[in-house]
Amino acid sequence: GFLGKGIPIIFFDTSKSSIGINCFPQYDRSLEVDGIIIDKSAVTLKGDQYASGSRDMKVPFNSNKTFGKRLSVYNGGIKIGNGITRVLVSFHAFMEAYDTNEFRVVKNSFSQANTLIYQESSYAGEDASSHKYYEVNAMPQLIEVQEGDVLYLYVTDYHTVPEVKISNSYMTIQVG
């Protein structure tokens, strides 16, 4: 609570390098107010390369931008840090492919049960060489998570020889 004159109680935990306002800090290197961590974080993974080999493929991202300390890049996905229970997730994919593909944001491993967001790509046109292009967008969605979860973007290609060229594609996760 607050003292009689409205002055907040501030706790310093030197072993955790944390500060708590109106609460004891629970997490390392954090600023917490009333038990809630005050820190914005975001990670965007970007991809411009081929995905091939199996029907269900993790989208191969080859660069990232990270802001804050509560999210991190891990094994081609985005790992959830301490104190996070909800994240905002969005993605966009543009690809050269043989046919429509399915995209899923999954938690920890590919399975129907772990699918958090599902979107089918739609036909975007073809070029002079008859290469077909498809596009998919997933508007930001609030997803429940817990510390240690890793979110991945997968593409499912039903063609006989699964191969998709990903370009100008990204997945962004935000918290805070």
Per-residue pLDDT of the chain (176 residues; tens, 9 = 90+): 544 566 678 889 999 888 888 888 887 777 888 887 777 899 999 988 776 667 788 888 989 999 888 899 999 999 999 888 999 999 998 888 777 788 999 999 999 899 999 999 888 888 777 778 888 999 999 999 999 999 999 988 877 777 777 888 899 999 97
Instruction: Specify the pLDDT at position 7.
Output: 67
What pTM did the predictor assign? Answer: 0.78
Whole-angstrom distance, CA of residue 2 vs CA of residue 5? 8
- Say if strands 163-175 and 50-52 run parallel, antiparallel, or are unpaired: antiparallel
* Residues 66-106 pLDDT 10s: 988 889 999 999 999 988 899 999 999 888 877 778 899 99
